Amino acid sequence: MKGRYRYHAVLEKTDMGYSVHCPELRGCWSQGRTKQEALDNIRDAVETYLASLREVLRKKEVRELTILA
């Protein structure tokens, strides 16, 4: 599961700064006062999300699928 992955960071302006979420990772979101702070925070959130996912999947049978779309 370790490797180099790319994810999207969707930024939205709010009254308090910026909200940001990663659509590929359900429930993975963050916020910041500036765009850069929000992006730094979502990077941390994605890393934490993936670490938690690795822990959960380590105890499961995992198969790789190839999908042609």
Q: What does the angle CA 51 – CA 57 – CA 62 come to, to the nearest 5 degrees?
A: 135
For residue 1, pLDDT beyond 80: no
Q: Which positions ≥6 away from 49 have C-beta within 8 Å?
A: 22, 25, 27, 28
Residue 5: per-residue pLDDT:
86
Across 38-59, average pLDDT: 94
Q: CA gyration radius for the chain?
A: 14
Backbone angles phi, psi at 19, to 5 degrees: -105, 145
Residue 30's DSSP bridge partners are 20
pLDDT digits (tens, 9 = 90+) for 7-43: 999 999 999 999 999 999 999 999 999 999 999 999 9
